[in-house]
Chains A and B, each alone.
Chain A
């Protein structure tokens, strides 16, 4: 099966007041269907620039892109002509800040319906609205018919992020680009959003490009990770290998900088087998209520079924 994303020696140069900056300096990677590839790095590493270059969301007069990249089999570096067919259709973006990603003067339902009709122009308005309700159910928004009429400011950050995910999957994309999708959210809300993304991937087999600074998020979500620093990948490989046995000193420093919480006793979790091998670190055991199957039950959110 062919890859959803192929990137070869991608270079992005940005024109700034201080001169030309090579924000992305020759990176290569591929993403297969059903796979999540994560670019992890700190501010200024070039991780978001890489993603924005793939989507061609950088202004042409300020960013020069070279190298080769295809998304869903279409060239996105040499020409802009495929972008209309890709954006909001084969590729969907989940941005970092759900508060600013939606139009404040239009209801969330109208915006979701608009996104659906963009991907499926054959649907009439009523059918698109029906599809919107169905999508809102899929992302576990309670009382979707009622929520459709809400304005963005009436919803919490976690709920808005669910709306954006609904809009993303409404296009039935081959690729979801998620740029720090949970960085603006509380940790308990983050857990729900990440589980939702995993659940959707299980169900639809969508490929995902995840951009994050959080190694914990990367560890949970990714098949493969690329550690980015100053425009280059300093280390890459399967996530267990990079996190468990980092080779590059930067990755090692990054891991060492994370304050460790260490093991703890969770009385709601079944006791681990007493003969557990020493090589696997003990706890914390993230429980069944955070796995995709039961992730959004009212009992675990403690908010009477209403998601935060």
Chain B
């Protein structure tokens, strides 16, 4: 990571998170360190069980770290008590993977977006409503969306409501946990464009958690590859994805199937020719 002249917005150092499983402790995150400059974007890439979501959950203190520090704008989130955490909490917001499970089905889009403002003490309902309309507009949803409930929206629209809700708290840092993974590719492209625009317009900082290298390349300048709780490789996205140094990163890179780039794979014609020969053989065997 490049040397920062200013202090980073987030500095995670020696983070360890252990769970107890069947009476034994299981280390989900094992000595992970990274820092994230204000206005920057860092992607954490990994497969299931790599610990990437655990890090996300620790940052919003849904789980408590076993060891290490998570310094956010001068405050260590790892050790802060609930009471002292409160004034910081709204500044870190999370966008979840599942747009179907992360919105209360009984609330309208307006209620979903307004709630964080009410929690923060905004008493003026008219102000809250105006702000909700503004936020929904910023994610490309019309004012008419205010009165509709989650089931009336598509997955992509719901995800945009989730982003608007996150923004309602005036956060500095957005933790996006597989935020586009449940979406169709065309919708994913729209949401990625919205996220990139919001970051530029509002000076937001993103921690973008994903298993999809293509998506990471589209949104983040820096990337950290995580496997079994440990950092395997890190660097600029460009560097890690075009010249991965570690065998695991290369394996991830090779496993990514791109429609335009299939050279080096066994051509379909070969599979088909061998299969056809087998069929002919068995047909002969039957007639013989």
Contact = CB atoms under 8 A, between A and B. Distances in A.
B279 A265 contact: no
Contacts of A190: 255, 257
A223 B241 CA distance: 30
Contacts of B247: 268, 302
A31 B278 CA distance: 17
Contacts of B268: 36, 221-223, 239
Contacts of B263: 272, 280-283, 285
A105 interface: no
B259 A243 contact: yes
B185 A219 contact: no
Given A198-B266, A219-B259, A222-B268, A266 B253 contact: yes
Given A187-B47, A253-B186, A291-B266, A202 B278 contact: yes
Interface in B142-176: 155
A260 interface: yes
Given A257-B188, A259-B217, A202 B274 contact: yes
A190 B255 CA distance: 8
Nearest to A204: B278
Given A188-B255, A201-B271, A213-B185, A220 B279 contact: no
Interface string A271-289: 0100000001111111100
B282 interface: yes
A275 B283 CA distance: 43
Nearest to A197: B271
Interface residues of A, number: 66
A304 interface: no
A215 interface: yes
Chain A interface, >50% SS class? loop
Contact of B184 (A43, A218, A222): A43
B255 A187 contact: yes
B263 to A, nearest CB: 6
Contacts of A256: 189
A280 B267 CA distance: 14
Most B-side CB within 10 Å, residue of A255, A262, A284: A284
B257 A216 contact: yes
Contacts, number: 166
A203 B255 CA distance: 23
A1 interface: yes
Interface in B2-33: none
A283 B255 CA distance: 13
B41 to A, nearest CB: 14
Nearest to A216: B257
Nearest to B245: A267
Contacts of B255: 187-188, 190-191, 290
Most B-side CB within 10 Å, residue of A42, A256, A262: A262
Given A34-B272, A42-B186, A243 B254 contact: no
Interface string B249-260: 011111111111
Contact of B275 (A34, A265, A302): A34
A38 B98 CA distance: 27
B287 interface: no
B203 to A, nearest CB: 24
A264 B275 contact: no
Contact of B265 (A202, A204, A291): A291
A219 B263 CA distance: 11
A263 interface: yes
Given A198-B266, A222-B268, A264-B243, A43 B155 contact: yes
A35 interface: yes
A217 interface: yes
18 contacts: A157-B48, A186-B211, A201-B271, A202-B278, A204-B278, A213-B184, A216-B257, A218-B259, A222-B268, A239-B268, A256-B189, A261-B261, A266-B250, A266-B253, A268-B250, A280-B263, A291-B265, A292-B266
